[in-house]
Structure formats: structure tokens, C-alpha cells
Structure 1
Amino acid sequence: MALPKRPARSRYDPRVGPLVEPVRPAEPEIGPGERLALNGIGSFDWDLDRGVFELDEQGLEVFDLRPDEFDARLESLVLRVSPEEGARLDYALRRALQAGLRSYGGYFRVTRRDGVKQWTHTQGTILRDERGNAYRIVGIVRDATDELTQAPEVPARDTGGDSRSIAPVVRLTTEALSNAVSVEDVTAVVTGAGGLERFGADGLLLGLVEGGNLRIAGISGSPVAGLDGTAPRRLDGTLPLGEAVMTQQSRFAASFPELTERFPAARAYLTATDMASAAFLPLIAQGRSIGGLGLFYRTGCDFTREQRELYGALAAIVAQSLQRAMLFDREREVATELQESMLPRDIPRFAGVGIAVRYHAASSGREVGGDWYDVVALPQNRVGLVVGDVQGHDTHAAAVMGQLRIALRAYAAEGHPPSTVLARASRFLAELDTERFATCAYAELDLATGTVRAARAGHLGPLVRHTDGRTGWPHVRGGLPLGLATAVDMHEFPETRLDLVPGETLVFCTDGLVEERGLDITIGMEALAEAVRDGPREAEELAGDLAGDLWERWGSQDDVALLVLRRDPDPGTHRAPRMHSYVHQADPEGLADARVALRQTLAGWKLAELADDVELAAGELLVNVLLHTEGGAVLTLEVLPEPVRRIRLTVQDRSSVWPRRRSPGEAATSGRGLLMIDALASRWGVEPRGDGKAVWCEFGPAAGRRSGVSRR
């Protein structure tokens, strides 16, 4: 509803007399959303659990996206945001999540569809649940180009009217370098995407001092032909950038002819370029030259006093960031070498399995951590698998880790079961002069049978990839972390028994691979399960993929230890193929998946006519194991070519109770399983296997069909 017009009002100005106010037309009410849109501010709503990133209409306008170009996925913004800019924003968000902050923000550049670079600002509020886990981010995005570029320009003197604004360059460079922690990061900021725009230059090169040489670490644009980073150049003053570094004095060249007269050795480079002026800035930190920065322009410039002062400030900012990054890299290298020196140098190899290990130090910190892995050769053709994590990220954590790893290795080599190994390791840790505790997962694998005995001490259990590609986290019982268990006198570390059939894979890792502060660990566990399911079959290749891809996604803020073991497949021979599968008692889909696998396998062997009988018999035997025993079942299907080609199905369990054939009455609801097997199979029988038994049955044309029970 329009407001009534306000009549003109008279007022008196003593200088000119009576005045009449103009009548302003009535305007409609402007809502909050419209007020934001009028100021170029859009909003977003990011559901972290579902991965849905919603932008309103003005938000799409900020990114120069049409509605049909955006599908509510953050990855779709790659149309406008470069990977480098996205990485900076991701780093800022990670820091906010890990620090428990309520909000985060930052500036970045958007490339509009016409190629124009637009500075953009985002600010988001992080919503967390009662446990402090972030689940949603609500925020705004806006065009910040005017804010960052409409700065007071430096007055031009004797430049013929040139008024190059340097102040925004200093501000934007400081913003970009604030997140650079390594020399590689600093180099990427200076010479990477957006570097030329930030510095307002047409060409740029960054050199680093190494010994008595200057190595070109990065080039952007085409500043000088023939210069690259393939070989260091001696600091002898024959090149303008080298002289600036040696003398710690900036050199400004309004034209290149004067440079060629002063530096004859640079004539070949300078005459081949289309640049007209340049600034050569030494990078000085604590009175020492650590590098040099060259800025090149296609137009001539006299470089006023104010401009030179601001160039000096710019070089000081880059030098400080570079010195901090060099210190970080050195400390990180020492810390990583210390941590890796405490890990086993060589992993033993065993027939019948492939084993691969990986360790990654945290990318965001210079301190060492306490993550470790170990593989221990045990008597009686067994192998011990260890992954653990000592509390803390410092040299003390690494020292405790080294002692604990050796102690646990010794307990395992003595032949103790997993529960005893962890109990003794807990007492050992409690007796050390430390208040640290440690989490650990230990498993013992029988290489001949595939039997796994696993126990946990406050750690993640193993992830299993089955022969058909399915993945799952079996329920492995556990106790308290090592050290803490002793402090409260709770040394119970119950064991869980699994069966690893040929072709299956075990994956152990520390929580750094699946956990990120502020996010639910189940998100990372699901991502790991998906990566293992879709990853390579071989242990070494799978470990490489996981350590590379998932570490970048989840674990880059924490140390990561990874151990992958795969039993070699047992396909049999061309004439007598074989398949194996394990059905875990806690896997509700395992039975159905096993039936599908049997049918597909028989079809591949061109024995599909037996599929109904084999599937029905397998279902009866598997259900019997899952209902009446305390463990899972190992299913084996194989072809017996002699004397007549037939199928043998074997279901093995760890129960010592043999099946009994009964004669159930008409009203009985059970007891007909063996009668059904007897009716379907040519032969069937029971035989002892290790600490359990195996029920087998054969299908196909054979003499002596339904010959009854055979006990061997």
C-alpha cells in the first residue's frame, strides 16, 4: 500500500529567504533480503552432513552463475573459483573448525564469464550440535572489488601523469600470504594464479638464495626470456636481481637500455623481452638476503619516491613470510625425520599375503606426533599387525611412541595372544615417566587358515574389503586406551575372531585418516570405506591411493599411520576354479550377497543349471552357522574335475558341534536342513577343520547320489 504524499513544507534560510522542500514520491517497503541484494550481498546455506551448498539469487549473481549452471554442490563453483583460491578458503575454514570458532571469512577472486577478475568476500557463521560438531554454515558473499581497489592512489611525481596504485597491492598480498606456511606456499602466492594481479605487474620472478647461488623459484608472465629455474645462478652481481640481493639495495629501471649498459651479461635476456621497466627488490630478513623479487612492466615508469617506499614495504612483507616459511620447512623436516626414524625401517614379507604401510606427518604443524605401525613375524606361520597413536604432538609423544612400539613388539614376539599383548603394553606405558596414554589396535593373523584374532585399546578396528568388493567395519570388541586402562585397573581387552578368506583385505589406520575436528568421525569412516571399495586390488597400490587422496581430504591436519594387508587370491586352476567368501555374523546383508555371488560364479563357470540347488543348500548351511554358533562362516565353492566334473560347496565355522540329522514331525518348524541337503546333493559330509568343522556337499552327476553322511 502506497503511503500518502507529504505536502511541501516551507523552511527559512536567512541567506536566501523562504525555501520549499521538494515532495519525494512514496516508495514501497524494502525487505531485509532486498536491502542485502541492493548492496550486492548474497547468502548461502551449507549443509555439511549432506554436502548441499545452496545459494540465493543474489549469491548466484556474485559468482556470475545462472541457476541452471549450479546444482547445489560446492564443486560446481570451480566454474568461477580457481583451485588455488579454493584451497585458501578451505584452509581458512579448516582452521576455524579446528579452533572451535563461531565464524570464518576471507577474500578470494572469482573469474566472471567475460574473463574479468572480481574480488569477492565471504563470511560464514558455523552452527554446531551439542557435542560441538559442525553441521551447517550460513553466511554471505559479496563483490568486494570496489572495497579493495578504491584505495587512495599514490600521488604521481614526474611520471607524466602515471598514477599506479600500490597500496591495494600491499593489502592484498598481506591477505594472501597470511595463510602461507611453507616455502612452496609462499612461492605459489607470489607467482601462482592471481599473483600478477595482486602485484599489478605484467611479469614477475622470485629468486631464492641457496648457498652462494640464486635459484629462480617461480616465474609468472613472461618477464625475461631465457630465465627459468633449471639451474642456480651464481651471485656475482652480473644480473640486476643478483646485484640487488648482494647489495641489499633495490634497483629501479625506468627503461631497459640503461640496464643493458650497466649489466652487459644481461643484454641477451633484456633485449629479447617486450618489457619496458622493472623493479628489482631484495628480500631481507634479520639483516640477511634470502632472495629477490623482480617486477616487470610493459609501460615505462619513473618510480616515484612514494612508489619506491611502498615497493620496499611489499618486499619486506614477502621476506618475512618467506623467512617464516623457511623456518617452518626446516623444523618440519627435522620433526618428520625424527618421527620416521622411530618407525620400522623394513616390513617383513610373507608368502600368501601382500602388506603395505604408509606414514604421513601433519601438513599444518611442525611438531612430531605419536602415530606408528608395525608388522611382527610370529611363530607357527603367524603375523602380528599393529597400528597405534600416542597422545600429543611433540617430541615427547614421539619418544614414548618409540619405547612403546619396541615393548609391544617384544610382547607379541613372545607368542602372547592379543589380549595379553595389550594388557602388558598398558602396564609398560603406565610405568614410564609420562602422563601420556595411547590407543592401539593389534591383530594376529594365521597365514595358513586366515583366522584373525583382533583386540583394540580405544582405537579404530580394521576395515575389511570382501572378495566381491563389499566393505565393512566388523564389530571388534575393545578396552580402554593403553596406560589409562592400568590407571583405573581395567586390563580387559577382549578378542574378536574374524576369518580373512583369500582375496580379502584388512585396512588399519589411525584416526587422522578419517577424522577432522568439528566433523563427525563417521563421515570420514564412510569416505574410507568408499575409497577402499573402489580402490586398486593390490595392497601397495591401495595404500598409495588412500595415503594420497584421503590424507589430503581428511588427514592433512594430523599424523596418519596406515597398514594394508591382503591375502593372495585363490582362484584355483583353469580346470578347477575356486571362489571364497566370508559371511560375518554381524553383517545383515552378507547372506544375500553370498547367494548372489554363488549364482554369478556358477554362471561364469557355465554351470548355471546347478545354481538353484547350490544356492538353496548354501542358504541352509549359512543360516545354521549364523543362528547356532558365535562366529561367521567361510564359504568355498570349487569345481572338482575328476573323475566327473562336479561342484563342491563347503561351509566352515568355528563350532565343534557337528550337525545331527533328525526326523522332525509335521508341526516342527526346524530340523529339516540336513534332510534338504541330503535330497539336493549327490554327496555330503562333515570333517574337522582346525578348531571347528566344515560341512561340504557336492552337486552334479555322480554315482552314489544321496549316499548320506561321510565323516572324515
Structure 2
Amino acid sequence: MKRWGEAPVEAHLPPETVLNQMEMAVIVCDRFSNVIYGNAFARQLFGFGGDEIIGHSVLSLGIAEEDHEQATELAKHVLKGGVWEGTFCNLRADGTTVYTRAHAVPLRHPSGAVDGIVMFAREALRSNQREQDRYGLLERIGERLAGSLELETTLRRVADTLVPQFADHCFIDLYSGDGLYRRVSRHAGGWEPPPGTWAAVGESVSYPPGHYSAKAMSRRDAVLVEDMVQHRYAATSESAKRLGDAMGITSVISAPLLVRGELLGVMSLALSNLSKRPDPHYDGFDRDLLGAIAGRVALAVDNAMLFEEERETALAFQKHLLPGDRPPPLDGLQVAWRYEPARPLESHGHGIQTQVGGDWYDVIPLSAGRVGLVIGDVEGRGARAAAVMGQLRAALRAFAQDDKPPADILRKLDEWVRTMTRPERMRSGWNSDDSVRPPLVSCTYFVYDAWSRVLEFANAGHDPPLLIVDGQVGELSFEGEGGMLGLRAPGMGGEILFNEETTELRPGSTLVLYTDGLIDRRPKDEGEYFTREESRARVRAAVAEVARGGVEAIANAAYDAVPGDSGDDVAIVVIRTSADELGVAERTFPAEPIMVSEARRMAADAFASWGMHDEQAELACLLVSEVVTNVVLHATTTPTPRREPAIPILAGMEPLGAPVQFDTDMVDSFDEDDWDIGADLGRREPPAKEFRLRLRRGADAVWVEVFDTDMRLPRIRSAGETDEGGRGLYLVDQLATRWGARPTSDGKAVWFELRIG
């Protein structure tokens, strides 16, 4: 007697014995979609004998050519850990066709890694061959239409499914603007109609009133012409009728494309002698079937057209928010950039992830020829991400004009991002709704000085750029990644630190900045999957091959390094420093009025050595005089607090008992130990104040900077008619191309730019 828990003898049967008794096909494939096992029912269902398909591609099961793309999608999805279900058309070895319903799951190693694919399949419909073809066709059309929101892809999939299984010729015409235009013209065996006969793709179509397609559109119902030999109809042209007769058109169905009462166009199918069919005629069942198919196609076309309209709007929106196609000319830098919007992600069973993203990049002119560079990525896709990106770019441009260090700019931008929520909805909680939560943003901001070759930068959670030096490719190291912008909610404690970093770029060095869409790619081929690190390695290797080439070549090589389509947009910016030194002249002067003429003389000598025209050099010297005069006048009158020494006054100085008053223009500090009563009565000259004049020569401009230790930034004031001063900065503002002032670590710098040519 068998006791409870004792295993029956049957439980020890080999798994293969059990699988061979299943009334369902079981196929096991490795990671490269090669068959490694098939049970007995699989051999019966797919019509192969023995083990001849073992080691061969799953396509050797007889999967119809039009379903090869679907088989590829199955492999990609399941190898990523997903589950797939769909219908295939399979051609048996004896020439018969069977529609199979397949369910695929990952084959996992005990460690959890996906080692292959397990497919379970059964016959989709048990009936006569023609009915099976019809029902299988309707199911497969639905699956094809669900996989894409791109109009051209949608129409191509419809035609590929219908020809040659259900038709020898397929035409789809859609209304666009003021007329009807042919969008699909597909024929069995790759045959194409001669020019001037049937309308080609892109040409306008006009059907006469008696034409079956015109009847279908006017009646808004499918029209069947069961026997074209006996049917008299109005052809679109005499040449079209002659071609139809020559091709032996035997039967036609035309169905309107209707959605929500709106006529989008017409779809027509025809049988002919192009393929040898046992019965080349449609019947009433086929007409109803095509009517049902046309309804699904119309809905898919309408969705695709709406999607494309929205996508084009978002792309145009983003294009106008990003810099132009060509970078501006910059002194000491070569720049190339490339932006590619995301392609629609056709994910079987998981809907469509589409539209533009929030990647952005920019080159920002700063003071004295310095350049701000930024690359970043806003989470999400669509119009909202593009709108946030546009706001970020505008905000960063505004913040950058303050000429503060990159870390300060990122802190200010982070504060701005964290306030990008609607106050009236903040009561619902920060994490309760994605529309309320601030967007997460990664970016890196650089400031480059081409004359000193110093690169300052700060990072907010973005991937480090590649750095190419002497043909060797590495990465620009970040001391810390820094938190993403918007990571901390308003009102929450803590602070995100952005490290300020500085490096010097050698002549001819190249930086390759990119967003994560470059390394997060969807593979095109089966079995070709890369981790982020593998993708980075491929990008580095591709860039290394063209490291000594132009910046455009490097950008293209980086984009093409990882195969596959990107489900996210991709931004790439390549920056190369000049191998030549740029013209610069610099000197420090005492902050005394007599030095104004010395500064002007130095500027005149520098401008002459740079080959500037006399008129331009004279104007530049005039502006140098005005800026230097302004600095000298105000730097020497910096207020200093009065100090009263607590000692008796000496005879001859002030009345007895009165405190000593020191000239604030002369005394900078005071200490009792510094008094020498027998010598100079304790008076001490303050350290002489200085200013530094720096001149820079670019290809099309000169920049003048005057540095001093006064923290006060200058401003233009309105001078009265009788005022002797107050017009210097106004003159600079009127005559210079640009001017401004920025704080420095020990004072300020007043600068102006003057275009030359």
C-alpha cells in the first residue's frame, strides 16, 4: 500500500517522454534563436520529421516571409525577460499552410539569466484551409496594426499581410489636402506596373462615378466584383484598363476607410493571373472580411495620422528650442553637434513609447570670449519634456550671464527646477502625481577659456564625456556625479552638492559630450544586446578610430557605434581645442590717474601688433581709457571706516584731549604695535591699489578686461547737462558690441567686446 507523500513510479519518467505526449508543440531555442529541442507534436504541427531543424534558425519551422519581422520582435522581447503571444503563418514541407497561435516565455538559468526561449504553439483554427486563412488573416491584421503608430509602417504592414496570402494586388488611397493620393501599391512576386498605367505611390487618383472604388466611397460600404470578365466598369484611364486586361484581373473588392463617420480613403484588393490560384475569385464572405479589415485599418490610419501630427508639432517645437543646425564660430574651439529624435518604440504587448524627449545642448557666449557649454536630459518624452527643456535652456542662458562658477549656476538651476510645480496642487503631495512632481534633470555645465585653456565644470548626475588627447580616448573624470536637478522636493531637508572642478585642456584635445540615448539602444539583430558599459566601450572604440579626424566625423562615429534604434532622443556635442595660441596682452598698473595714459599706450601697441585698422584701434583705445578711468576713480575712493586711537594726542597736532582723526584715504588699518612716536607720529601709507588690464584678440573681435579689488559693480547713471562726469560707461555702452562686469574671487572685472573686420 502506497503511503502518503510517496512519489508514484510515473513521476520518474524522463521530461522528454512527458513533453512528447503533450497535444501542444514545444520548441526550445537558444539566445541566437536556433532550435535546440522540439517535441513530437511540434514535428506533426510544423510538418518536419526527425531532428533536421535542430541547430537551425527558428525560421526553419516554415514561418512565412511576411512574419519574419514578427519572429525577430518575439526574440528581442522574450530575451529581455518579457512574455510574447501572437499568430504565425507557417508553410509546411508538403506545401500546405497552417496558422499557429504561439506563446513564448524566457528560458532561465538557475542564476536568473535568460538563456533562451521556450515556445508553445497550437493550431489557430481547426477548419478547412480557406476559412482558416480568412480568420487567421483578420487576427494577424489586428496584431500588425497594434504594433505601430507610424503611418508608413502601418500601411506597409497591412500590405505585407494581405499580399500574397489574400490578394495579388493591394492599393490604399488616402485623402490629403485637396485630393485623393495613392499611398500603397503592392503586388505579388515583386511585380510593378509600368509607368503611365496604374497610379504610382504619391500620385493623385481620380475615380470615375462608375468605378467600384468610387461606389465603395459613395455607398460607404465594401463593393465586390466577383468576376471582372463579366463586369463592365469605368476605368480610371484606357491604359489602366488595358493593363488590367493583360494581367488577367479576375476579382476585386473595394472598401472605404471610415472612422467616426469620416471618410479617410479607400482600400482595394484584386486577384489576377499573376499567381496561380485554384479559385482566383472573391465571394461575399471575403467582402465582409475586407470590410472588417478596412474598419481596423481606418482606425489605425487615423491614430497614426494624429500621432504623426502631434509628433511633428513636438519635433518642430523642440527644433526651435534647440540651437541651429550649425554651431556659431568660436575662437579657439571647433564644435560639431548632432541631435536625433527618438524613433517610436514598437513593443509587442506593451503599447507604444514614442515622441521627442527632453535632451538639450547649448553653446553660450560669455564675457571676454569665454564660452559656456551645457548638455542635459529631462526625464520623460513628449511635448511636456520638450517644454521643460525649453524653459531650462532659457533659464540656464539667463543664469550664465552672471558669469558665476559652474557649481553656482547648477545650484541656482536646481532651485529653479524644484519650483516647477503648480502651487495649487502642491497640497496633494509631492509623490502623489507625476504632473505635480518636479522633473528630474541631468546635466553638465562647462565654462572654457580658450586663451588660458582652463575648463571649469560641475555635474548634476550626467554621464561623463569622452576626452581625446593625442589620439587616446578616455573619460573626463568627475570627482562626484552630483545629484540630478529637481531630485529634492521643495520643503525637504538636505542639500545636493555640486562639485566645482577645473582642468587644463591640452592643445588639440577633444571632448565628446552625449546623452544616455546614445548608449541605451534597441538592437536590430537577434542576439545582439549590450549593457551600458558595453555600449560605452563600443563608442570609445569607434571614436578612437577617427580620433584624429574632424569633429563631424567623430560625432558621426559616436552615433553609429552602437547598432539599433534609440527609444530616447540622442544629443552629441564634440568640442576640440585649437592647437594655436590666441593673442593676449596683460599688465598690472598702480591705480593712479596718470596710469590711464600708460594703459592706453599699452593697448595701442597691442592693437597695432594685431594688425587692427587705425579707426578700429582708435575706437578701442578710447573705450580702454573710459573703462580704466572709471576703475581708477572708484577704486581709489573705496570707503574705509574711521579709526580713533586710544592714546593722548601730541603737542602741535590737535587740542589736548581731542581724539586723533586719521585721513581715511591714507589709513587702511591700524595697530598699536605699529606706532613709532619718535619717528613719523604713527602714520603709515596704505598698500598701493592696483588694476590689471588684459587684452584678447579673436578672429572677429577684441575683448578688453580691467580687474580691480573693488567689489562694487559699475552701473550706467544718467548725467545732468552740467555734470562733468558720469558719461564714461554710457559711451562704452553705445560704442562697444557688448559690455558688462562680473565678480571675481578678489574683486571684479569690467569688460567690453568690440567687433572688428
Report the TM-score when normalising by structure 1: 0.62
Question: 300-309 vs 267-276, which deviates more?
Answer: 300-309
Counterpart of 2:338 in structure 1: which amino acid? V
1:271 to 245, 248, 252: 245
2: distance between equivalents of 1:493 and 1:516? 29
Report whether the alignment pairs 1:553 with 2:560: no
Question: 238-247 vs 164-173, which deviates more?
Answer: 238-247
1:374 corresponds in structure 2 to 362
- For the Cα contact (< 8 Å) 1:426–1:483, is it kept in 2? yes
Task: Give the C-alpha shift of residue 433 in structure 1.
Answer: 3.5
1:700 corresponds in structure 2 to none
2:575 to 552, 565, 571: 565
1:405 corresponds in structure 2 to 393
Counterpart of 1:141 in structure 2: which amino acid? M
1: distance between equivalents of 2:124 and 2:456? 62
Structure 1 residues 247 and 395, CA, compared in 2 at 3 Å: closer, same or farther?
A: same
2:632 corresponds in structure 1 to none
Structure 1 residues 514 and 109, CA, compared in 2 at 3 Å: closer, same or farther?
A: farther
Structure 1 residues 541 and 239, CA, compared in 2 at 3 Å: closer, same or farther?
A: farther
1:186 to 151, 154, 176: 154
1: distance between equivalents of 2:27 and 2:150? 34
1:515 corresponds in structure 2 to 520
1:337 to 316, 325, 328: 316
Structure 1 residues 109 and 303, CA, compared in 2 at 3 Å: closer, same or farther?
A: closer
**Bigger radius of gyration among the two:** 2
1:427 corresponds in structure 2 to 415
Counterpart of 2:258 in structure 1: which amino acid? I
Task: Give the C-alpha shift of residue 358 in structure 1.
Answer: 1.0
Q: Deviations over 1:52-106 (max 9, x none)?
A: 666414399879999999999x9x97998899755545556777899xx752344
1:213 to 179, 188, 195: 179
- For the Cα contact (< 8 Å) 1:514–1:554, is it kept in 2? no
Structure 1 residues 451 and 483, CA, compared in 2 at 3 Å: closer, same or farther?
A: same
SS in 2 for 1:169: helix
Structure 1 residues 410 and 327, CA, compared in 2 at 3 Å: closer, same or farther?
A: same
2:631 corresponds in structure 1 to none
1: distance between equivalents of 2:455 and 2:96? 60
2: distance between equivalents of 1:71 and 1:32? 20
- For the Cα contact (< 8 Å) 2:206–2:236, is it kept in 1? no
Task: Give the C-alpha shift of residue 456 in structure 1.
Answer: 1.0
Counterpart of 2:15 in structure 1: which amino acid? P
Counterpart of 1:511 in structure 2: which amino acid? D
2:119 to 141, 144, 159: 141
Question: 369-378 vs 52-61, which deviates more?
Answer: 52-61
2: distance between equivalents of 1:125 and 1:91? 14
SS in 2 for 1:314: helix
Counterpart of 1:214 in structure 2: which amino acid? L
Counterpart of 2:458 in structure 1: which amino acid? A
2: distance between equivalents of 1:293 and 1:65? 42
Report whether the alignment pairs 1:56 with 2:39: no
SS in 1 for 2:322: coil
2: distance between equivalents of 1:136 and 1:507? 34
1:525 corresponds in structure 2 to 536
1:325 corresponds in structure 2 to 304
Report whether the alignment pairs 1:280 with 2:280: no
SS in 1 for 2:564: helix
SS in 2 for 1:272: helix
Task: Give the C-alpha shift of residue 512 in structure 1.
Answer: 2.6
Counterpart of 1:124 in structure 2: which amino acid? V
Query: Structure 1, unaligned stretches of length 5 or more?
Result: 1-26, 47-51, 155-162, 571-712
- For the Cα contact (< 8 Å) 1:355–1:540, is it kept in 2? yes
1:296 to 242, 267, 270: 270
- Pairing 1:571-650 to 2, within 5 Å after superposition: none
2:404 corresponds in structure 1 to 416
- For the Cα contact (< 8 Å) 2:78–2:106, is it kept in 1? no
Counterpart of 2:261 in structure 1: which amino acid? G
1:229 corresponds in structure 2 to 201
Report whether the alignment pairs 1:495 with 2:495: no
2:104 to 123, 128, 135: 123
Report whether the alignment pairs 1:176 with 2:144: yes
- For the Cα contact (< 8 Å) 1:445–1:452, is it kept in 2? yes
Task: Give the C-alpha shift of residue 43 in structure 1.
Answer: 0.9
1: distance between equivalents of 2:14 and 2:235? 65
Counterpart of 2:363 in structure 1: which amino acid? V
1:540 corresponds in structure 2 to 552
Task: Give the C-alpha shift of residue 374 in structure 1.
Answer: 1.0
1:460 to 446, 454, 463: 463
Counterpart of 1:490 in structure 2: which amino acid? E
Which is bigger in relative contact order (C-alpha 8 A, separation at least 6)? 2
Structure 1 residues 554 and 206, CA, compared in 2 at 3 Å: closer, same or farther?
A: closer
Task: Give the C-alpha shift of residue 380 in structure 1.
Answer: 3.8
Task: Give the C-alpha shift of residue 539 in structure 1.
Answer: 2.7
Task: Give the C-alpha shift of residue 244 in structure 1.
Answer: 2.5
Count of residues in correspondence between the two structures: 519
1: distance between equivalents of 2:93 and 2:128? 29
Query: Structure 2, unaligned stretches of length 5 or more?
Result: 1-9, 346-352, 423-436, 523-528, 581-757
- For the Cα contact (< 8 Å) 1:103–1:125, is it kept in 2? yes
2: distance between equivalents of 1:118 and 1:348? 61
Structure 1 residues 446 and 89, CA, compared in 2 at 3 Å: closer, same or farther?
A: farther
Structure 1 residues 296 and 554, CA, compared in 2 at 3 Å: closer, same or farther?
A: closer
Report whether the alignment pairs 1:506 with 2:511: yes
1: distance between equivalents of 2:89 and 2:465? 43
Counterpart of 1:507 in structure 2: which amino acid? V
Q: Deviations over 1:482-540 (max 9, x none)?
A: 23358544252113444544554322222233237998533443343344345683333
Counterpart of 1:200 in structure 2: which amino acid? F
2: distance between equivalents of 1:543 and 1:208? 39
1:480 corresponds in structure 2 to 483
Q: Deviations over 1:601-657 (max 9, x none)?
A: xxxxxxxxxxxxxxxxxxxxxxxxxxxxxxxxxxxxxxxxxxxxxxxxxxxxxxxxx
1:249 corresponds in structure 2 to 221
Identity %: 24
Structure 1 residues 303 and 87, CA, compared in 2 at 3 Å: closer, same or farther?
A: closer
Counterpart of 2:119 in structure 1: which amino acid? V
Report the TM-score when normalising by structure 2: 0.59
Structure 1 residues 30 and 70, CA, compared in 2 at 3 Å: closer, same or farther?
A: closer
Structure 1 residues 68 and 151, CA, compared in 2 at 3 Å: closer, same or farther?
A: closer
Q: Deviations over 1:535-581 (max 9, x none)?
A: 6833334434544674x72622x2333322234678xxxxxxxxxxx
- For the Cα contact (< 8 Å) 2:222–2:288, is it kept in 1? no
Structure 1 residues 428 and 33, CA, compared in 2 at 3 Å: closer, same or farther?
A: same
SS in 1 for 2:246: coil
Task: Give the C-alpha shift of residue 119 in structure 1.
Answer: 6.0
1:363 corresponds in structure 2 to 344
1:350 corresponds in structure 2 to 330
